[in-house]
Structures are given as C-alpha cells and as structure tokens.
Structure 1
Amino acid sequence: TVLSSRTTVPSSSLNGRTLGIIGVGGIGSRVAKLAKAFNMTVLGVRRHPERGANGADEVYGLDALHAVLGKSDYVLISTPITKDTDGFFGSAEIAAMKPGAFLLNIARGNLTHEAPLHDALVSGKLSRYGSDVWWTYNNCFPPTYHFPVPSRTGIHKMENVLGTGDQAANADDVIELAMDRSIESLSELQAGKPLKWAIDLDLGY
C-alpha cells in the first residue's frame, strides 16, 4: 500500500494558532495551560474577566464574545449550563466565527443551537466540530442523554465531526476524585468552614 502525502481530511496545526475559550473557570483554565504548550495564543471569555484565567494571554467579558470568536482558529465551549447560558451559542455566534474555524464543546450539548451548527458544517463555514456532549430533547423517546439519539440532524454522522458519547468522565480515577471531594466537603461542613466546592444556587454553578 502506498500512502499519499495528501489525505481527504487533512489535519490542522495548533502551533501559532489562536484558541478562544468561552468559559475560563476551572476546566477552561486547565485547557488554556495545555494550549500554551502548543505555542497557541489563548483568548478567554468569562462573566467576570477581572478574575483573569491562568494560562490565557487575554481575558474578556461577555460583551467581547463576538470579537474573540472572529479572532479564533479554534473555539472551545466550557461554560456551565444555566438559565443564562442555555442555547446561548447560536446563529449569530457561528456567523461571528472565522471561516473554516473549529468548534469544540466539552460542556453541555444544549449550550449550542443544533440547526445552525449543522448548516455551518455542511456549508463549510465551520471546518470541524468536536463534542463529547449532545442535545437533550424534551419528551423524546428513546431518551437522549446522551444516547441513543445524539443528534436529530445527523451531525454525529458527518465526516467533519469527531464525537464521543459522554466519555470524558469515564476515566479510572474520576470516582475516587469525586469521593475525595465529597469527603472534603463533609469535613468542611462539619467544622463550620467555607465549602471549597460550594455551588452558587443563584448562578447555577
């Protein structure tokens, strides 16, 4: 077998490219640090930009979302899903992205609008889409979190899509880590100390 120097689906370089991270909390900041190892420029967007983000070159507020999207070769969605973020990434956000950019979703499927994403992947507006999370459809049979119906539009079957089925947490130390954090939280609660892993019920995360 002779391997061609060209493939039908060429790979893309990370070196020197720009990564826009939407949501640079704990997870987004970790990704930013990893991206710097590939000599990437990292732009972050978060609700409170004054908090910064370890690993990001610049951090912006939500008002600069579209500007960051227009500068990014790769866009990573890593926001929590709340009443404010549910479905926030739609037609306007996709239109603001660079032609041929990559979109990656490591948070929740319902953060994005499925139909405009499908259209952008078909038209070539977006080069690739990668996701470990899929849409949850209301009153759907069979149930959709996250299989056996990962995408009604068939996004998961497209050649320019790389998808897995909620496998990011399927690692050999995840349960142990969750147990350690639970024990830590119980100890803090019993001692009357502030909870390190507390959830803000108003914000939803």
Structure 2
Amino acid sequence: MDTTLLLAHTISPDWSRDLVSELKTRLPEGLIENATTPAETTEKVVEADILVVGRLQNEWLAQAQELTLVQSLWAGVDMYPLDRIDEAGVAMANASGVHAKPIAEHVLGYMLQFERGLTQAVKNRRRGVWEHISGGELGTKTVGIIGVGEIGSRVSELATAFGMETVGTKRDTSSAPASIDTIFPASEYQTVLQQSDYLVLSCPLTETTEGLLGVDEFRMLNRDATVINVARGEIIDQTALVRALRSGMIQGAALDVFEQEPLPPESPLWDLSNVIVTPHMAWRSPQTTQRWADLLVENYRAVASKETDSIVNRVL
C-alpha cells in the first residue's frame, strides 16, 4: 500500500509526536508524514491521501491532488468548511467517541464537587476554616443530558451507576442507550430542563443549538439546578448565564468550554463562587493518543483498500 497520511502542523507538536510514534508501529513504513510548519503542510498536502487536522485551512483543499479523507481529531465539526470539503469530493470523518470516557468522568467529577460540597470545602481550607458541610447524594438526583451521543451515553452510564435518574434528548429517538430512563426528541429539550437537577450539555454546535440556553431557559430550571457544559461555549448565552448565577436563578455551573477561549481575565465567571472553570481539558487523558491511533489505523485501511463506505465516523 502506498497511501500516505499527513498530520498537519495545526495539531499540537506534543500530540502529533506521540501519535506518529504510535502509528509507525502499526502502519506501513515511510507513509506517515508529520508537518511541523505551515510550509511543510502546504508542500506535503499535494500528495497526501489522508489529511489529519486540528484546524483546516481552505487552501489545502485546492492544493491537494490525491486527497481522499480529511480526518479531524475532534468530535465537533462546526469549525470546518464542510461545503468546500464536500465540493472537493473529499470525505470527512470526526473523532466521535474517542473522548467520551474522559469527558464523562470529568462531568461526574463536576457533579460530585457540587453534590458533596467539595467546592466550598476547598474554599474553607484556603481560609483555614473548619466548618461541617452537609452534602447530598447523587442517587437522589436527576441528570438531564442535552445530546445523547457517545459522550452523553457514557455520562448516563456513570450516572446510572450512582443511582441517578437519567433523561435526555436525541435527534433520533428510535434508539437510545439502556442507561437513559427517558429519551425525548431534540425539539423537546425544555422538558428535560424542567426535570434536571444537573443539566449536561453534550450536543454539537449547530444553527439550532447556538444560544440554546438563554434567559428563558434558565428560568425553567430548578433553583437548585447546576449547568454543566462540555460541548461548545456558544451553546450558552454567557451573559444570561452570569445573570442567572448572580441572581440565584440556578445553583451553579461547571464549564469546560466558553464563547472565547482562553476565558478573558475580565470575565465575571472567574470570580463567581458558584462556578467551576476548567480550561477545555475534559477530553484529554493518557489514553487519548491510543484511541486516536485506533481510529486512524481503521480509516487508513479503508482508504488504502478504496472502501470509503467503511470509513468510521464519516460525516461527509
């Protein structure tokens, strides 16, 4: 096989180095290219059959002569020029499912911090205050999941293990994981809001989901509800969120994604006592490189054998 796979320079050097090391043990020698500069990507994309990207620059589609597949390392594809990729006759796949386990555990960590009062306990420790805090039990609560895909499904599995009631939305409700007690179509997300003690956003960013949670939606939530966002920052109206948190409209929020990243120093989210901020880190774990490699190897074989219908996670 002489199919070539190119990692674009828009992938973090640390990630690409580890990924190349893993792939070289599993794919034909000499057919993996790792571009470390814009010039190298521009040069090597001309003959690449598979282009692995973080960000994708439009000119690469025009320069590529052999390109069959654009492979994203992310689950979301909202940042890619899908129309131009499609017009170029190139397939595209995402990394759906690769990050589900670490993200779901991150979500569970958020819920435990709020439920057991750990956020307040940490603050008390810093102040040298010995104060008993009465924590609750997750098993008495309901988690609502907006977007029961790979990530949402894993969240529901972990929540079920704690005895939580699980409700969620899914574009296709004909199938849902056994760990979801009640599934609703995406259009009925407000019903999920009204039932949720913990509301988890794990849906893709689309025209429909942009600004999905605003002032009206925060009013539908229980005052003891906590909003958790591991999807995209733009799904929440951030100004409305700050207002809801300051006024006690909701109990708190745990956020791994934001409208602007890094979160600006002047953002009020840094200073609110009922907010947990993490720097878009939920997806990463020591196992991520291995899972990326598993996906790339499978899709490499599909392209090399000209069986593009068998490309995993194909979105175009």
Which residue in 2 is equivalent to 1:101?
A: 225
Contact 2:295 2:312 in 1 (8 A): no
Q: What residue identity is the alignment partner of 2:182? A: E
Establish whether residue 16 from structure 1 lines up as the match of residue 140 from structure 2: yes
Which residue in 2 is equivalent to 1:167?
A: 281
TM-score by length of 1: 0.83
Which residue in 2 is equivalent to 1:143?
A: none
Aligned mates of 2:312, 2:243 — CA distance in 1: 42
Establish whether residue 198 from structure 1 lines up as the match of residue 314 from structure 2: yes
TM-score by length of 2: 0.55
Contact 2:144 2:200 in 1 (8 A): yes
Unaligned runs of 5+ in 1: 137-145
How far the C-alpha of 1:2 sits from its partner, in A, is 7.6
Structure 1: 4+ residue segments shifted above 3 A: none
How far the C-alpha of 1:187 sits from its partner, in A, is 1.1
Q: What residue identity is the alignment partner of 1:58? A: T
Which residue in 1 is equivalent to 2:293?
A: 179
Aligned mates of 2:292, 2:282 — CA distance in 1: 14
How far the C-alpha of 1:58 sits from its partner, in A, is 0.8
C-alpha root-mean-square deviation of aligned residues, in Å?
1.9
User: Highest relative contact order (Cα 8 Å, sep 6+), 1 or 2?
Assistant: 2
Which residue in 1 is equivalent to 2:240?
A: 116
Aligned mates of 1:94, 1:72 — CA distance in 2: 12
Q: Which structure's residues are more often helix, by fraction? A: 2
Establish whether residue 44 from structure 1 lines up as the match of residue 168 from structure 2: yes
How far the C-alpha of 1:39 sits from its partner, in A, is 0.5
Q: What residue identity is the alignment partner of 1:3? A: W
How far the C-alpha of 1:12 sits from its partner, in A, is 4.0
112-121 or 52-61: bigger deviation? 52-61
Aligned mates of 1:3, 1:148 — CA distance in 2: 32
Secondary structure of the 2:213 match is: coil
Establish whether residue 157 from structure 1 lines up as the match of residue 281 from structure 2: no
How far the C-alpha of 1:11 sits from its partner, in A, is 4.1
Aligned mates of 1:70, 1:182 — CA distance in 2: 41
**Percent of residue pairs identical:** 29
Secondary structure of the 1:126 match is: coil
Aligned mates of 2:196, 2:250 — CA distance in 1: 12
Q: What residue identity is the alignment partner of 2:253? A: Y
Q: What residue identity is the alignment partner of 2:273? A: E
Contact 1:44 1:53 in 2 (8 A): no
Secondary structure of the 2:138 match is: coil
